[in-house]
A and B are shown apart, each in its own frame.
Chain A
Amino acid sequence: MTMEFQSSIRPLFALLASLCAVPLIIISPKPNIREAISFLSAGVKFTIIASMLPEILMGKQLFFTIIDVIPGAPLQLRVDAFGLLFALVASFLWILTTAYSIGYMRGLNEHAQTRYFCFFALALFATIGVAFSANLLTLYLFYELLSLATYPLVTHHQDPEARTSGRKYLTYILGTSIGLVLPAMIYVYNVTGNLDFTAIGIIAKKVSPPVVAILLSLFIFGFAKAAIMPLHAWLPAAMVAPTPVSALLHAVAVVKVGVFSIARVLLYTFGVKSLAQLNLATPIGFVASFTIITASLIALSQDELKRRLAFSTISQLSYIVLGVSLLSPRGITGGLIHIAMHAFGKITLFFCAGAIFLVTGKKHISEMAGIGHRMPVTMMAFFVGALSVIGLPPCGGFVSKWYMALGSLESHKIIFLVVLLTSSLLNAMYFLPIVYQAFFVEGESVKGHAITRKEAPLWCLFPIVITALASIILFFFPDIFLRLAELALPL
């Protein structure tokens, strides 16, 4: 298929939609206006991104050069199917998260809400920037901006715990991007003279195999936002953030930027062919498999709900890396659409955890017995989200895992199929007891009393229901994401 390139300013507008919101949020005189601006910019951003869908589905790519900074590596935006897939998910969920934030932050009467909304908009600016980066330099720029923009969100509570977590967050994220990715990127640039993402990769035949292996590990571990073990410890620590932050950033935007960057580099900088020739994808698969299983096992032992979700996320992120490392069409497709499927499932779970905290003040799973009677809608949504993450029908997560399973058969790596199935079993083991407890075990406090139903405010409940429904809908209609993932295949 011939790829058609077209210059367009829409990618830039998609970025600016949230950047321009930042000063407006700062100067807005009232909370209502501030939040209206957040909504407006989220809506505009999603609309612009969605408007590019028809062209991308026709096989076009849109690009826009911001400025020529380094010869061969300009600051350039390019919208392709892979980037659009991620951008659609992130920008759509931002709208819902904005609604949820309003309910959550007001419900808990949090301080510094202007700062919160301001940096949230900045974080989304950077996220879409990563999605639309045309080359590694641009990607690195937005990746770093995202790290910095999320720091005030992670440390929102400004207490000693937030301080420790914030320090851990930066140490892992900035330490690896500066210490590992930056030298690797400059090395690649010096060997190839450019940093473009192309379907065949840019370093084939220019670098000797041992150097390729070194570069590969610098990139895989350098993008620590993907939380591949042993560089995962920042993610559970970052759960100290307010729940909407954990929901959008640490289940969707930030962590997916990590795996997105890894997938980008694997598929478009190294290239499927050269990875296959050097047989370098299998070790990556093993690293990812190790993370998948170990993180699931750790998740089993976590009593704090958000921490359990965090370890589940660590495990699920490595699915995506594993899918891509299979290097077969179905494996890669499965990995790429897992970005979307996991996003909807996991954000639902986080929203639910936040709603439970908002209504009952409870953070620990052991205290949540019988919660399903008090908050039936929330817990039903939790059930749906859990099913999706486990990968059972009728939820979206099934589709991506199905493709990955097919992919591991396709590339004759049965061991990874075993990993996928084992992990699904473990997922079920750490999610389903929560649901069981919520509905079928009576909590201490409610014994003998009439149970009063009390759900989270509508601002919170509405996004929960939408994301849960979306998880189900994606099982029946995964076509858009599937189509995008297939278009993105660099084969």
Chain B
Amino acid sequence: MTENLPALLVVVPLLCAFVIYGCSWLHKKSCLPLAIIGLGTPLFISIVLLKEVLNNGHISYHLGGWDPPWGIAYELDPLNTLVLVAVAAIAFLNLIATGTEIEANFYDRKGAFYALYLLFVVGLLGIVATGDLFNLYVLLEIASITGYSLIAMGDPARAPLSSLNYVIMGTMGACFYLLGIGYIYIMTGSLNMADVRALLQPLYHSSAIVIGFIFCMTGVMIKMGFFPLHFWLPNAYTYAPSPAASLIAPLMTKVMAYVMIRLMLSVFSSKFVYSSISAGTAIVWLASFDIVIGAIMALSQRDLRRMLSYIIISEIGYIVGGAWLGNITAMSGAILHIINDTLMTFCVYLAVGAISKQAGRVHLNSVSGLFKRMPFTMAVFVAGGLSIVGVPPTCGFFSKWYLISGAIKAGNYGFIGALILSSLINVALFFRIIETAFFEDSNSSTTPGNHTVAITEARIATLVPLLMGAAGLIAMGLFSGIIIRHVIQPGLIGIF
């Protein structure tokens, strides 16, 4: 049983997704409990696996007993198991928090919604766990297609178009990635990551491999909304239904950032990435632009969710920049930031979701008076905001610390400037909202035609995951030393 856990991680939610869809015709009430089981199990499994990997080291699981390089292998090391825990935990908490909203808003379509939700998570878990390049593509498409559908279920006026935009860009991204693997497959004849890595060693100067690498990276960067390939992202995340937004926004881009690092370190090597192709400096500069432009664009938004989606674009720049600076400190910071950013984006999106359930679309003005009406939700929102700004002891501070340290080591002062500048812009960004919520009275600012509904604190099922998220922000901050030392750096020491 225990040795099959890596497979069950993906199989359980996959089966649950189909069962739920069937159940939605027969017995609508059992959908939510089934979904909770379908996501609780992978969370439990991933925690068990993390413990296992930390104690006994790397786990390699061969699906169906077929040995690699022909069969598909799931490779679990401390790093990706940690990402698995993060993905499973966020998906589970988000389901608990938004379950009642899904029940209320998607009555007819809730079977479809839950099934897509679970399949999306299956895709992400698989992407993180797999050790096979083509399997990664398949799972990437599962996650993407379910993501497009979930987004399209939002605001009927705007969501379908936003989703279509995302479909076009996302498909292009996937095609680039597929093309990239095509090149690699032609040159090496293998798709298993470890195998490809060994076969690539003598081929680093082959232009086909360089092109393949560039295609893979371009594909992944489109999927994670990296400047200047980010145009699909703000609309998609703004008009998505809020339970889907607080699932997709924290997870999708971060998992793709993980894939980028996976490709750089496990398929290619630091020697190839940082020495053979001299793209590092250019990409770090691009990341610096991404960070600053994302922050400035966020500042110019008046819709809260749209603002947050530009912050995601800015945060992705942190990770890309950190990954391409080319030293262990910066890479540790980038990896830590994947986890931290997942958590803090989740907190702010979920808080905005809780607000939007009562106040409709969350315009900057509609947060007025909220400190009085929803003190706990706002407290979590502030905590998430402070983490994005990078105030200790929240986790955002520590990833920023490693990123800046890494940039100092690499002598890249432009990147440091971008990080500091974006922190300052984020202060302005969040305190603008905090000011509105603190100083303005909700009665004075209701626009005509907007019914004043008594806004009260979110229900307890939403509040508990919110508060857990906020507690997680501080816990991740305080334990970041342990995570860096025991989870992240052991995997990097041999590489740099």
Contacts and interface: CB of A to CB of B under 8 A. Distances in A.
Contacts of B389: 178
24 contacts: A66-B478, A69-B398, A69-B477, A69-B481, A71-B481, A74-B481, A75-B393, A141-B393, A148-B391, A152-B438, A158-B438, A167-B431, A175-B427, A178-B389, A179-B420, A182-B420, A183-B404, A183-B416, A186-B405, A186-B408, A187-B408, A189-B405, A190-B408, A190-B409
Contacts of B404: 182-183, 186
Given A141-B393, A155-B438, A178-B424, A190 B386 contact: no
Interface in A120-167: 137, 140-141, 144-145, 148, 152, 155, 158-160, 162-163, 166-167
Given A70-B481, A71-B485, 13 more contacts: A66-B478, A67-B478, A75-B393, A145-B391, A155-B438, A159-B439, A160-B439, A178-B427, A183-B420, A186-B401, A186-B404, A189-B405, A190-B405
A170 B431 contact: yes
Nearest to A166: B435
Main secondary structure of the interface of B (DSSP, over half): helix
A174 interface: yes
6 closest A-B pairs by CB: A141-B392, A69-B481, A190-B408, A68-B481, A186-B404, A163-B439
Nearest to B431: A170
Interface residues of A, number: 34
Nearest to B398: A69
Nearest to A147: B391
A182 B407 CA distance: 14
B478 A75 contact: yes
B356 interface: no
Contacts, number: 72
A241 to B, nearest CB: 14
Contact of A178 (B393, B420, B435, B480): B420
A69 B401 CA distance: 11
Contacts of B405: 186, 189-190
B218 interface: no
Contacts of A71: 481, 485
Contacts of A137: 392
Contacts of A187: 408
A158 B478 CA distance: 33
A74 B398 CA distance: 12
Interface in B262-312: none
Interface string B196-215: 00000000000000000000
A160 to B, nearest CB: 8
Interface string A178-213: 110011001101100000000000000000000000
Contact of A70 (B386, B401, B408, B435): B401
Contacts of A67: 478-479, 481
A130 to B, nearest CB: 13
Nearest to A175: B424
A436 to B, nearest CB: 41
Main secondary structure of the interface of A (DSSP, over half): helix
Contacts of B398: 69-70
B353 interface: no
A141 B480 CA distance: 15
B423 A178 contact: yes
Contacts of B482: 68
A69 B480 contact: yes
Contacts of A152: 438
B38 interface: no
Nearest to A69: B481
A152 B479 CA distance: 29
B160 interface: no
A67 B476 CA distance: 12
Nearest to B406: A190
A199 B128 CA distance: 49
B126 interface: no
Nearest to B400: A182
A163 B392 contact: no
Interface in B381-398: 386, 389-393, 398
A216 to B, nearest CB: 18
B323 to A, nearest CB: 19
Contacts of A175: 424, 427
A470 to B, nearest CB: 35
B435 A167 contact: yes
Interface in A200-230: none
Contacts of B409: 190
B8 to A, nearest CB: 35
B478 A69 contact: yes
Contacts of B393: 69, 75, 141
A56 to B, nearest CB: 27
Contacts of A144: 391-392
A170 B389 CA distance: 13
A292 B93 CA distance: 55
Interface string A82-106: 0000000000000000000000000
B153 to A, nearest CB: 38
Nearest to B407: A186
A41 to B, nearest CB: 21
Given A68-B481, A162-B439, A167-B435, A148 B386 contact: yes
Nearest to B389: A178
B441 to A, nearest CB: 9
A179 B424 contact: yes
Nearest to B478: A67
Contacts of A158: 438-439
A152 B482 CA distance: 34
Nearest to A159: B439
A137 B479 CA distance: 15
A183 B401 CA distance: 9
Nearest to A68: B481
Nearest to A182: B420
A74 B482 CA distance: 11
A457 B478 CA distance: 45
